[in-house]
Amino acid sequence: MGFATYAEVLRNPVVRRILLLGMLIRIPLWAANVVITLHVVGHLDRSYAAAGLVSTVVAIALSVSSPWRGRRLDRAGLRATVLPSIVIGAVVWSIAPWVGYWPLILLAGVGSLFAVPSFSIIRQVLIGHVPDHHRTTVLSVDSVATELTFLVGPVLGVLAATYLPTQVALLICQLAVVLGAVALWIADPPLHSEHSDLSAGKVSRRSWLTPSVLMILLIATTSTLILTGEDLSTVAALRSWDAPTSIGWMLALWGAGSAIGGIVYGALQRHPSAALLLVGLAGTTALVALAPDGSRLWFAVLLTISGLFCAPTITATVDDLSRVVPASVRGEAMGWHGSALTLGSAVGAPIIGLGLDRGGWAWGFALAGIAGLIIALPGVALTRRGRAVAEAAPDASTQGDAQQAADAPLGI
């Protein structure tokens, strides 16, 4: 293991700045997601199903937006991409908190279509400004930072909605996202280093959207389907045991396991493929279903063990994807990755919900785990067949050879 690599990575001023900027955007973004639900249920006096419809519209809009905004990022650069997000975001979220339910859905959809492609930007900057052998480590740092913002953001959102009118809380959270985008626009961090090969700037999507890339995206989708299943099933289990007050610390343990797993994964000298990590995530998720009914201790232990695979699996999909696409289309590729993650959450909720309705909390974990294994095992087989070819081939993201990337199925 090489934990000293983290110190080397964090000494890079570009890495430190973009991680800080990422947190400035992500924390209020997670907070706003919670506040908008509380706003619909509380101030607008609608059901949780109605609040879920708002979330669905936002998810669909983000799925459309991510690759489109990522492609814009590749072609026009950071400032030209972020500026419309600043203007439209400021206008939309200055109006949305004060309107009724259906106008809110419309405005939330428009705002999400022009959302700042923060994940694409942050990952491109990180990948472009560290040596190739530090790429996995720096992506692991970003993964852990994302975990922290996901833990902090919702808590701040609940506090804001508790002590302020939800309209004001929503306005503050969303305008904080806009201010983070302004800071990003001012900083204008370079998306690529001076050594990046951007010669493949005019390659067609068909040349790099290969079976390997599609498999990586499928793994990313499956991973968030599993994570959604674990989230919903944890809530269902603790509610069925009449222990709803344990939900918060149980999910915190799960998140802590994910952060630890991400740190360890980034320090490894040789990194397992995303497909292999998905096997671990799916298998340990299914094992949670074997926890004795009502035993919070065993449930917590098994859930934490499963958490160890969460951040590494997501990180591996980003890492593998960045290595099999040319640097000149990395923004769009990361956008498709973001859409894949969103799709997994959107598909996972109703599938796991059906399992919970039919068989209880254990069925939720079992269904998520089995679904993951069905996708992961063929991916592992493909990884083994392509490993020798891929290791002998140059890195597509640094060499700019799109066809070579298409022929090397490492990215799973």
164 and 210 belong to one structural domain: no
**pLDDT confidence of 1, banded at 50, 70, 90?**
low
185 and 229 belong to one structural domain: no
**pLDDT confidence of 379, banded at 50, 70, 90?**
confident
218 and 70 belong to one structural domain: no
290 and 402 belong to one structural domain: yes
User: How many domains is the chain partitioned into structurally?
Assistant: 2
pLDDT tens figures, 151-166: 788 888 888 988 999 9
Percent of the chain exceeding pLDDT 70 equals 89
127 and 228 belong to one structural domain: no
103 and 251 belong to one structural domain: no
Q: Which amino acid, residue 222?
A: T
Q: What is the pLDDT of residue 92?
A: 96
Domain boundary among 164, 194, 224: 194
Domain CATH number, residue 129: 1.20.1250.20
C-alpha of 326 from chain center: 21
Q: What is the 3-state secondary structure (H, E, C) of the chain?
A: CCCHHHHHHHCCHHHHHHHHHHHHHHHHHHHHHHHHHHHHHHHCCCCHHHHHHHHHHHHHHHHHHHHHHHHHHHHHCHHHHHHHHHHHHHHHHHHHHHCCHHHHHHHHHHHHHCCCCHHHHHHHHHHHCCCHHHHHHHHHHHHHHHHHHHHHHHHHHHHHHHHCCHHHHHHHHHHHHHHHHHHHHHHCCCCCCCCCCCCCCCCCHHHHCCHHHHHHHHHHHHHHHHHHHHHHHHHHHHHHCCCHHHHHHHHHHHHHHHHHHHHHHHHCCCCCCHHHHHHHHHHHHHHHCCCCCCCHHHHHHHHHHHHCCHHHHHHHHHHHHHHHCCHHHHHHHHHHHHHHHHHHHHHHHHHHHHHHHHHCHHHHHHHHHHHHHHHHHHHHHHHHHHHHHHHHCCCHHHHCCHHHHHHCCCCC
Distance CA 238, CA 194 (A): 52
Q: What is the pLDDT of residue 398?
A: 45
174 and 278 belong to one structural domain: no
Residue 277 near residue 317, CB atoms below 8 Å: no
149 and 207 belong to one structural domain: no
184 and 250 belong to one structural domain: no
Q: Is it the case that residue 204 has pLDDT exceeding 60?
A: yes
pLDDT tens figures, 256-280: 899 899 999 988 878 888 999 999 9
**pLDDT confidence of 102, banded at 50, 70, 90?**
very high
Domain assignment of residue 11, given as a range: 1-194
Q: Is it the case that residue 100 has pLDDT exceeding 90?
A: yes
Average pLDDT over residues 172-184: 94
Task: Give the number of C-alpha atoms closer than 13 A to the C-alpha of residue 29, restricted to the C-beta side.
Answer: 25
For the ranges 84-98, 199-213, 345-359, 364-378, which has the lowest average pLDDT? Answer: 199-213
58 and 86 belong to one structural domain: yes
For the ranges 53-67, 167-181, 214-228, 288-302, which has the lowest average pLDDT? Answer: 53-67
Q: Which of 1-15, 41-55, 80-94 has the highest mean pLDDT?
A: 80-94
The mean predicted confidence, pLDDT, of the chain is 85
Residue 316 near residue 137, CB atoms below 8 Å: no
232 and 339 belong to one structural domain: yes
Average pLDDT over residues 235-264: 88
Pick the more confident residue, 33 or 79: 79
Q: What is the dihedral of CA 32, 36, 38, 43, to 10 degrees?
A: 130
Average pLDDT over residues 28-33: 89
Q: What is the pLDDT of residue 409?
A: 37
Domain boundary among 137, 167, 194: 194
For the ranges 45-49, 228-232, 378-382, which has the lowest average pLDDT? Answer: 378-382
Q: Which amino acid, residue 336?
A: W
42 and 182 belong to one structural domain: yes
Domain boundary among 128, 159, 194: 194
Q: Is it the case that residue 135 has pLDDT exceeding 80?
A: yes
**pLDDT confidence of 396, banded at 50, 70, 90?**
very low
**pLDDT confidence of 383, banded at 50, 70, 90?**
low
Residue 254 near residue 303, CB atoms below 8 Å: yes
Quote the tokens at residue 100. 């009724």
